[in-house]
Structure 1
Amino acid sequence: MTPTSAPTTGTDRHPRAFVAPLVSTLMTLPVAALAFFFVGLAPMACDSCGDAVSDRFDDSYEVAFPVFGFGLVVVLVVLLSAWALPWRRGNAAARVWLAVIAPAAVVLDFVVFHGLVDWP
Structure 2
Amino acid sequence: MTPPPDTARHPRAYVAPLVSTLLTLPMAAVAFFFVGLAPMACDACGGEVSDRFDASYGVAFPVFGFGLVVALVVLLSAWALPWQRRNAAARVWAAVIAPAAVVFDFIVFHGLVDWP
**TM-score higher than 0.5:** yes
Q: How does 1:10-49 map to 2 (within 5 A)?
A: 10-49=6-45
The CA distance in 2 between the partners of 1:87 and 1:24, in whole Å, is 16
> Which of 68, 72, 76 is equivalent to 2:72?
76
Specify every segment of 5 or more residues in structure 2 that has no aligned partner in the other structure, as ranges.
none
**What is the distance in 1 between the residues matched to 2:37 and 2:46?**
19
Identity of aligned residues (%): 83
TM-score by length of 1: 0.93
Gapped regions of structure 1 (runs ≥ 5) = 1-5
Q: Distance in 2 between matches of 1:53 and 1:67?
A: 21
CA distance in 1, matches of 2:4, 2:21: 28
Amino acid in the other structure paired with 2:26 = P
**RMSD of aligned residue pairs (Cα, Å):** 1.2
* Match among 43, 64, 88 for residue 92 of structure 1: 88
Larger Rg: 1
> Hey, what does 2:112 align to over in structure 1?
116
Q: Whose helix fraction is larger, Structure 1's or Structure 2's?
A: 2
SS in 1 for 2:5: coil
